[in-house]
Amino acid sequence: MNFLKRYSVWLHIIGWIIFIIMPFLTAPSGNFGFWKQPYFRSFALSQLVSDCMLIAVFYVNLHFLTPNLIIRKNILAFVFVLATIFILMLLLNKFTFDTFRRPDLARMYPKDFTRFRRDFPPPFPSFIPFPLLFRTVASFSLVILASSLLALIKERGIQKEEKQQIALEKTAAELAVLKLQISPHFLFNTLNNIRWLARQKSDSTEDAVVKLSQLLRYMIYQAKQDKVPLEQEIEHLKNYIELQKMRLSEQNSVSFNFSGDISRWSIEPLLFIPFVENAFKYGLHSQHESRIEINLSTDSNSLRFFVKNPIFTNNFPERAEDSGIGIQNVEKRLMLHYPDRHELNIRNIGGFFSVELTINLLA
């Protein structure tokens, strides 16, 4: 495949050279010296015009008609355009045939061709000669078939490369997201909180351990799938939020609301968690009242995710720009998995940071 890409231009050139000289090598005169005959110039000019039209038709179909009509299953438009092009080409071939024809041009065809025509009467005997019609139909069909096949092969290769690219980007994004999600800071805090609950013999200890195991299991196993049920993604968010709530003071509060028919949809995993983690990382303060608001809703064809939190940039010693890594990963994944089907608005106004993500879930 790489060989074809590297030498595609030369392959096209060689192919067209063979295509152009083939009629001269198989001329009906039955010998290779017909180029010395007086009618050679007429034959060459008419053939050159026909070949130029065929080359143009080939690349128009390769780059425009098949990709935009056949691949998108607009068959009627494809047939209509091809029929129009064929009629124009047939008329132009007739014009060039009449313009460059010489009285002795007929000698290029077999002597018994007239008898052959009686068995297969031409559809337009008084307007378009049967040899011209046959040659136009055959060459046009060959060019359309070859260019359509090449376009389909090319499209299949593009789709394969896109799938490979998506897989690579997803793997890289998952690793980056996991690095952000299962950070030592988060794990140490969670384990310390669980240890504190255990010392206090709190009834919440077992629940905290269960939620942590569910969180890790989801990110390690379920998140490897191309898509997961939206219910599972919401449950993952709930587990993460509940674990984070264990370290909140009385001045901190978190609300997580979701609505709509969430059981109907599936979604790319781990899209929302970087925004939620960012809210917990910079939206809470031990000495100031703070509130994180998280909303998720669905309707008949779309999903809306919203996060809003105050900004306390001195909460953690990490550099502020580090918080953007997870969001950048999400933006790349949205471009790959939901191209032209999503809208992401991130705002930093009046000391509050908000994220609003809308995804069209209908493919």
The answer on pLDDT for 138 being more than 90 is no
Work out the number of other CB atoms within 10 angstroms of the CB of residue 362: 9
187 band by pLDDT with thresholds 50, 70 and 90: low
In the chain, DSSP finds a helix count (H) and a strand count (E) of 11, 7
pLDDT at 265: 94
Q: Which of 15-29, 243-257, 260-274 has the highest mean pLDDT?
A: 260-274
For 63-83, b/e burial (b = at least 16 CB within 10 A) is eebbbebbbeeeeeebeebbe
**Residues whose CB falls within 8 Å of the CB of residue 318, separated by 6 or more in sequence, listed in order:** none
**Residues whose CB falls within 8 Å of the CB of residue 94, separated by 6 or more in sequence, listed in order:** 127, 128, 132
pLDDT at 247: 74
pLDDT: which is higher, 260 or 116: 260
pLDDT: which is higher, 18 or 112: 18
Report the alpha-carbon angle 154-160-165, nearest 5: 125
Torsion sign, CA atoms 117, 118, 123, 126: positive
Least confident of 68-77, 83-92, 229-238, 302-311: 68-77
> For residues 98 and 80, what is the distance between their CA atoms, to the nearest angstrom?
27
Three-state secondary structure call for residue 284: coil
* Averaged pLDDT for residues 224-239: 89
* Averaged pLDDT for residues 329-339: 84
Q: What is the DSSP string of 60-83?
A: HIIIIIIIIIITTT-HHHHHHHHH
Pairing relation of β-strands 290-298 and 252-259? Answer: parallel
* Averaged pLDDT for residues 161-184: 67
Give me the domains of the chain, ranges plus CATH numbers.
2-161 (no CATH), 182-360 (3.30.565.10)
pLDDT at 39: 62
> For residues 86 and 70, what is the distance between their CA atoms, to the nearest angstrom?
17
Least confident of 8-22, 293-307, 327-341: 8-22
Least confident of 103-107, 158-162, 296-300, 322-326: 103-107
Contact at 8 Å (CB) between 268 and 333?
yes
Least confident of 27-31, 135-139, 186-190: 27-31
HSE of 76, CA atoms in CB hemisphere, 13 A? 0
Rg of the chain over all Cα atoms, to the nearest angstrom:
34
Least confident of 16-20, 106-110, 134-138: 106-110
pLDDT tens readout for residues 271-297? 898 899 889 888 887 778 889 999 999
Three-state secondary structure call for residue 173: helix
pLDDT tens readout for residues 47-81? 788 888 888 999 998 888 888 888 777 888 888 99
For residue 255, list its beta bridge partners: 293
pLDDT at 314: 58
* Distance set, CA 304 to CA 161, 179, 191 (Å): 30, 26, 33
* Averaged pLDDT for residues 28-43: 58
pLDDT at 201: 80
Distance of CA 7 to the CA centre of its chain: 25
Chain-wide mean pLDDT for the chain? 78
Helical residues (DSSP H) of 255-323, grouped into ranges: 273-282
HSE of 66, CA atoms in CB hemisphere, 13 A? 21
> For residues 290 and 352, what is the distance between their CA atoms, to the nearest angstrom?
11
The answer on pLDDT for 3 being more than 80 is no
For 154-184, b/e burial (b = at least 16 CB within 10 A) is beeeeeeeeeeeeeebbeebbebbeebbeee
pLDDT at 238: 92
Helix 130-181 / helix 75-100 crossing angle, nearest 10 deg = 140
The answer on pLDDT for 329 being more than 80 is no
Closest by CA to 286, choosing from 250, 316, 258, 321, is 250
The answer on pLDDT for 162 being more than 50 is yes
pLDDT at 34: 55
> For residues 306 and 275, what is the distance between their CA atoms, to the nearest angstrom?
9
The answer on pLDDT for 33 being more than 80 is no
Q: Give the whole-number percent of the chain exceeding pLDDT 90.
A: 17
Work out the number of other CB atoms within 10 angstroms of the CB of residue 290: 22
Q: What is the DSSP string of 18-42?
A: HHHHHHHHT-TTSSTTGGGSTTHHH
pLDDT at 233: 93
123 band by pLDDT with thresholds 50, 70 and 90: very low
37 band by pLDDT with thresholds 50, 70 and 90: low
The answer on pLDDT for 257 being more than 90 is yes
pLDDT at 35: 55
- Which token pair is 161? 């490369």
